[in-house]
Amino acid sequence: MYFSKNIGHRDDWYSDAAFGQQQFTGTNPTTITLASSRWIEDFGTAAHSQGRGDMVKLLNSDPENLFVQNHSDFRSIVGLPPNAEISCDGRYGCSSITLFHLESQGKLHPLAIILDYKGSTEESVVIFNRRTTADTPGDEAADWPWRYAKMCAQVSDWFRHELVVHLVYTHLVEEVLIVAANRTLPPSHIVLKLLEPHWKTTLSLNEAARSTLVPKIINEMTAFKDPETYAFIKDAYQRFDWVGSYVPNDLRRRGFPVEKLNDVKYHNYGYARNIARMWEILRKFVGTVLTKTYVGGDAQVAADLSIASFCRQVRSIDGGQLGTFPSIKTLDELIDFVTMCIHIASPQHTAVNYLQQYYQTFVPNKPSALFRPLPQSLAELQGYREKDILDALPSHRSRDWLLMAQVPYLLSMEVAEDSTILHYAATTINSNSTPRVIREAAEAFKYDLQVFAQTVSQYSEELDDQQTPYLVLDPYRTAISILI
Ligand SMILES: [Fe+2]
């Protein structure tokens, strides 16, 4: 495993630039969100009280380009009081918030980090970056308090990424749709025919995740106790917003309107640019098939009793319990729904799964927990040196270190050539067992994916960061389904 490239091979892996870029092209490029006025105010007040007039000025001057990775809600979700320590078996966790400035040339620069939010900024340790902009000179290597703060942000993001973004929002949500579809749609139904190829392996894999991976491995890697983690998973599922998570809706809600993604300001957001284009390609393919099948348009969709029964099954208390799932009554709604199912199973899962090896096998970049209690004051944090960072890593706990390094490696296992989305498109064209309407649409789908492969390379070449290409969504590598 140590022969594969990882971020630790970079001399600047700890830099603000590499940290900022991971919010756009790392393992979790899906939760960076426009900062609300409440957070801007809170950070502004903290900056003022720390005598950071430069930060106050910046926050006031460009509020529409401030973004957050907001993990401040961990305690309230898992049922811990604001002051409680997040810890389990010598592992310590945190509920961090990071404030970023999206600069006009597209660099996402971290400005401040609340290490572990305890109900208010006054009760929490807030540290500001000495470097106000991406161009501000400074010895980043020796700024140990700030490096420690970035590590805390990564620990928090590890938890949200693995348990919510990855496990719940891809594996578990897709499972509900698979089960509901198999309970309600006749085997020959066109929706089932479109989706079946994207549902290979997922149910048995999820069973293994429930019986082994989460209880015996993941739970032993984090600072949360088992019931806390399960509360976190359950809350994420209950709050999953189906329609709000359609790619154009999700990007707009988080402050990245799809029609602006080619602006220079967004050129580093590789995930957004790739996934928005991929959504269009998937939607065109699905739209072609369903428009030719439902020739009666909206009325025919509304009259499809299997679809109505499927939607009820996904929402019902004794079924999927996915409260936000819509009643599908129009052709557009049906096309969006099928597009979303393929999106989650294929490009979305690929984006949040297959970079784990690169970013997480090198443990200091994104540990799943810390091994020393967090500092309780800014003064304590400001005294931190390299040794304090090493002490917070599992240097003396080889089992923890091995789990943190090897689990991401195993989960990033390369997709076999015959399990990619492009292979599916190419072989579907000549597949006798596939309905003709799908076979015919697959021709253009294959072409679009081949062109998209070049777009993926182009977007990667346009990134400021040319040390780590962003090619995970190349259709020659994108998995057809949630395979691992
Ligand atoms: Fe996965």
pLDDT tens digits for range 46-99:
999 999 999 999 999 999 999 999 999 999 999 999 999 999 999 999 999 999
Q: What is the pLDDT of residues 223-265, one digit of tens each?
A: 999 999 999 999 999 999 999 999 999 999 999 999 999 999 9
Residue 2 scores a pLDDT above 90: no
Taking the centre of ligand 1 as the mean of its atom positions, its distance from the CA of residue 345, in whole angstroms, is 10
Task: Tell me how far apart the alpha carbons of residues 424 and 179 are, in angstroms, rounded to a whole number.
Answer: 22
Taking the centre of ligand 1 as the mean of its atom positions, its distance from the CA of residue 209, in whole angstroms, is 9
Taking the centre of ligand 1 as the mean of its atom positions, its distance from the CA of residue 349, in whole angstroms, is 6
Taking the centre of ligand 1 as the mean of its atom positions, its distance from the CA of residue 170, in whole angstroms, is 8
Taking the centre of ligand 1 as the mean of its atom positions, its distance from the CA of residue 202, in whole angstroms, is 9
Taking the centre of ligand 1 as the mean of its atom positions, its distance from the CA of residue 67, in whole angstroms, is 27
Taking the centre of ligand 1 as the mean of its atom positions, its distance from the CA of residue 353, in whole angstroms, is 5
Q: Helix, strand, coil shares of the chain as percentages rounded to 5?
A: 55, 5, 35
Task: Tell me how far apart the alpha carbons of residues 372 and 110 are, in angstroms, rounded to a whole number.
Answer: 24
Residue ranges of domains in the chain, CATH in brackets: 7-462 (1.20.245.10)
Taking the centre of ligand 1 as the mean of its atom positions, its distance from the CA of residue 162, in whole angstroms, is 9
In the structure, ligand 1 is a single-atom ion and the residues with CB under 5 Å from it are 353
Taking the centre of ligand 1 as the mean of its atom positions, its distance from the CA of residue 321, in whole angstroms, is 22
396 CB-near residues (< 8 Å, 6+ apart)? 371
The DSSP 8-state label assigned to residue 100 in this structure reads E
Residue 1 scores a pLDDT above 80: no
- Alpha helices (runs of H) in 98-201, residue ranges in sequence order: 144-159, 173-184, 190-195
- Provide the token pair at 317: 């208390």
Instruction: Average the pLDDT over 256-279 and give the result.
Output: 98
**CB-based burial, 314-353: b 16+ in 10 Å, e otherwise:** bbeeebbebeebeebbbbbbbbbbbbbbbbbbbbbbbbbb
- Burial class of residue 464, CB neighbours in 10 A (0-12, 13-18, 19+): middle
- Angle at CA of residue 8, ends 66 and 468, nearest 5°: 60
Instruction: Average the pLDDT over 335-347 and give the result.
Output: 98
Taking the centre of ligand 1 as the mean of its atom positions, its distance from the CA of residue 123, in whole angstroms, is 36
The pLDDT score that the predictor gives to residue 37 is: 98
- Provide the token pair at 9: 């091979």
Q: What is the pLDDT of residues 127-140, one digit of tens each?
A: 999 999 999 999 99
Taking the centre of ligand 1 as the mean of its atom positions, its distance from the CA of residue 482, in whole angstroms, is 6
Angle between helices 37-49 and 53-61 (to 10 degrees): 160
Taking the centre of ligand 1 as the mean of its atom positions, its distance from the CA of residue 468, in whole angstroms, is 22
Q: What is the pLDDT of residues 377-407, one digit of tens each?
A: 999 999 999 999 999 999 899 999 999 999 9
Taking the centre of ligand 1 as the mean of its atom positions, its distance from the CA of residue 213, in whole angstroms, is 11
Taking the centre of ligand 1 as the mean of its atom positions, its distance from the CA of residue 88, in whole angstroms, is 25
